[in-house]
Amino acid sequence: MRALDKLWQALDERLELDPIVEFIRHKVVPTHRHSWAYYFGGLTLFFFFVQVSTGILLLLYYRPTAEAAFESVQFIVTRVPFGWLVRSIHSWSANLMILSAFAHMFSVYFMGSYAKPRELTWWSGVALLGLAMGFGFSGYLLPWNTLSFFATRVGTDMVSLVPFVGGWLLKFLRGGSEVTGATLTRFFGFHVAVLPMLTTLLLGFHLALIQRQGMHVPASLEEEAKRRKPIRFVPNFMMREGVVWLLGLAALAALAAFFPWELGTKADPFGSAPAGIKPEWYFLFVFETLKLLPAHIFGIEGELIGLGAFAAGGLVWFLVPILDRGRPGGGRGRTFFVLGWLVLAYIVGFTFASFAGVFK
Ligand code: HEM
């Protein structure tokens, strides 16, 4: 114990740790009937940590070439001790992380936490969700199996619709005009270097803002939060968050062990695409909407109009902190409250309908 005290003293003399200790000692989290929503950001963070650690383990054996990728993943799941489990956890955790990020986004949205002074937290959050989906899209191709190959072909085809720069964007993503080994190498680079670096930086920014500003209390709950005592961040909130992480781990372990992630068959670029090819679930609402549109609307390609509408919708969502001017007495505006429910119902509705095979 004395040795620990001495070590602390030595570090404190050099780094002046006192202000940090004071900050941690005084940091509190408000309590009210919607305090449960404060746990989703942390849960997303937990899944991100799982992604980084299992991703590093997979990297020890994975080979990013069209010739060897599929075989290297096959080797991981059949020969490497616990390799199947690590791969299964990585794939399941990717999905749970995106699910949890969506839950986090909608919960902060409905609490109106994007309002001044938290605009930057919202904007960095939207960017983080985009990066998380980029992780999913780039990682999907890496096993180089039939499904991922053709889904990537369909997915990257979409960017060619972008006016003026579409052709260039397509080549940039694919490393040529077709999905080949060059695309795989590129996606691998995005997946293990570019996206992790950007995510780490943005996440650091997101978390620093939250530390600086503290948790937001919705206007309608301010009275209640004043009446109820806030809880200390260390150790009370951290221990509760720890329980949430354990629940996340339990769900992850059960899914990964009982439903091991499948590998399928090796991609054959010259083979024909299997029927009913679909992207990952978090792109389904976009995919199904685009499929519903007629080939041409007023002489313009239907899919182009659809993509334009999604881009405009995404921009409105991004700009919500500026567009929502709130209500005179405080609290967020009604219009945006209703808009949030419409967006949520649309995403959930289309995703489930797609799973149920409503769209043929
Ligand atoms: C990789 C993804 C993300 C991680 C790891 C993450 C992490 C966190 C954490 C730990 C918190 C504090 C606890 C909480 O309120 O839950 C938080 C707060 C917040 N996040 Fe995120 N977040 C992510 C994505 C997002 C997204 C997609 C949005 C919205 C578009 C967002 C917007 C916010 C806002 C506005 C707050 C402040 C909430 C408040 O003050 O009450 N975040 N985030």
The Cα 97–Cα 129 span in angstroms is 10
pLDDT at 202: 98
- Measured from the CB, is residue 42 less than 6 Å from ligand 1? yes
Q: Which of 49, 123, 210, 233 to mutate to test the pocket of ligand 1 (most atoms within 8 A of CB)?
A: 210
Q: How far apart are the CA of 356 and the centre of ligand 1, in A?
A: 31
pLDDT band at 325 (very low <50, low <70, confident <90, very high): confident
- Measured from the CB, is residue 143 less than 6 Å from ligand 1? no
pLDDT at 302 over 90: yes
Cα 117 to Cα 205, 250, 291: the distances in Å are 15, 36, 40
The Cα 307–Cα 316 span in angstroms is 14
pLDDT at 74: 98
The Cα 47–Cα 54 span in angstroms is 10
The Cα 342–Cα 48 span in angstroms is 29
Q: How far apart are the CA of 136 and the centre of ligand 1, in A?
A: 19
Which of 21, 29, 24 lies closest to 237, judged by CA?
A: 29
pLDDT at 330: 65
Atom of ligand 1 nearest to the CA of 199: 1
Atom of ligand 1 nearest to the CA of 45: 5
pLDDT, one tens digit per residue, over 74-119 is: 999 999 999 999 999 999 999 999 999 999 999 999 999 999 999 9
pLDDT, one tens digit per residue, over 238-289 is: 999 999 999 999 999 999 999 999 999 999 999 999 988 899 999 999 999 9
Residue nearest to atom 24 of ligand 1 (CA): 125
pLDDT band at 1 (very low <50, low <70, confident <90, very high): confident
Cβ–Cβ under 8 Å, residues 20 and 222: no
Q: How far apart are the CA of 68 and the centre of ligand 1, in A?
A: 38
pLDDT at 158 over 80: yes
Segment 158-171 shows an average pLDDT of 94
Q: Which of 27, 106, 206, 207 to mutate to test the pocket of ligand 1 (most atoms within 8 A of CB)?
A: 206
pLDDT at 222 over 90: yes
Q: How far apart are the CA of 243 and the centre of ligand 1, in A?
A: 19
Cα 20 to Cα 17, 25, 45, 239, 302: the distances in Å are 5, 9, 22, 20, 56
